[in-house]
Structure 1
Amino acid sequence: MSQPNPHPRRFPALMRRAASFGYAFQGVVAALRSEVHLQFHAISTVVVIGLGFYFRLSWLEWALVSLAVGLVWGLELVNTAVEAVVNLVSPEYHPLAGRAKDVAAGAVLVGAVAALVVGLLIFGPHVWALL
């Protein structure tokens, strides 16, 4: 005789959580298809991963590179969301709408510069050793 499920509501909640991951994945794909900067980041990510394997990065180096790549991707996705919402609520130009978009883009720039510094610190010695 089987035991009754002590948590009958868990399965639907688990399904909703699983669906939310699907929606998040759809958002990344939609942004990747429509945002040129995100496409550039995708190509850069592939190059960085290839270089990481070529130079046989240590676990720590992989962790730092992964954090840097994830930071830039995350900021770019947030920037895309901010731009979409600003365009929705302010289709005509407004100084505050422009400021919001500029600040969101600035966040991406700061993250990209930080990722560049991480990349130079990690890959620089490996490249220098080849010269």
Structure 2
Amino acid sequence: MKPGRTGITRIIYAAGYSIKGLKAAWQFEAAFRQEVCLAAILTAGSFFLDVTLLEQLFMIATLVIIILVELINSAIEAAIDRIGSEMHELSGRAKDIGSAAVFVACCFAAFSWVIILFN
């Protein structure tokens, strides 16, 4: 049995796979591109707001959460699509739940920004 990669070699390969995943998300997922662009704009804009450093960090963190959830949702959708193209109730449910997770993350971010900005 061949031993797996360990130490720094494993970390280097894992980082490479992660970068490959980010590139794939950017290339194939329009929602991911839109959310990254919006997050970049809002993050840049947050530096001009009259908020504390901790509030700014929290606001940016909510944007990162959206991107994380979108990556997971895209992975779920890709796996479902790999299984087959025929319509199935469970496949649709999995995709809908993934989409709902992104929606909840977006609502949380919007709510957080409003509370911080108008409090």
Equivalent position of 1:80 in the other structure: 74
What is the Cα-based RMSD across aligned positions, in Å?
1.8
SS of the residue 1:55 aligns to: coil
In structure 2, give the amino acid aligned to 1:123. Answer: L
**TM-fit CA distance, 1:56:** 5.3
Mapped pair 1:106 → 2:100: yes
- Does the CA contact (< 8 Å) of 1:90 and 1:97 recur in 2? no
- Does the CA contact (< 8 Å) of 1:72 and 1:108 recur in 2? yes
Match of 1:28 among 15, 22, 27: 22
Equivalent position of 2:83 in the other structure: 89
Mapped pair 1:48 → 2:55: no
SS of the residue 2:115 aligns to: helix
How many pairs does the alignment contain? Answer: 115
Deviations for 1:45-92, whole angstroms, at most 9, x for unmatched residues?
111112111225422112211220111011000000000000111321
SS of the residue 1:54 aligns to: coil
Unaligned runs of 5+ residues in structure 2 are none
Larger radius of gyration: 1
Change in 2 beyond 3 A, CA 1:55/1:100: same
What's the TM-score, normalizing by structure 1? 0.79
Unaligned runs of 5+ residues in structure 1 are 1-10, 126-131
Residues of 2 paired with 1:123 and 1:34: CA distance?
A: 34
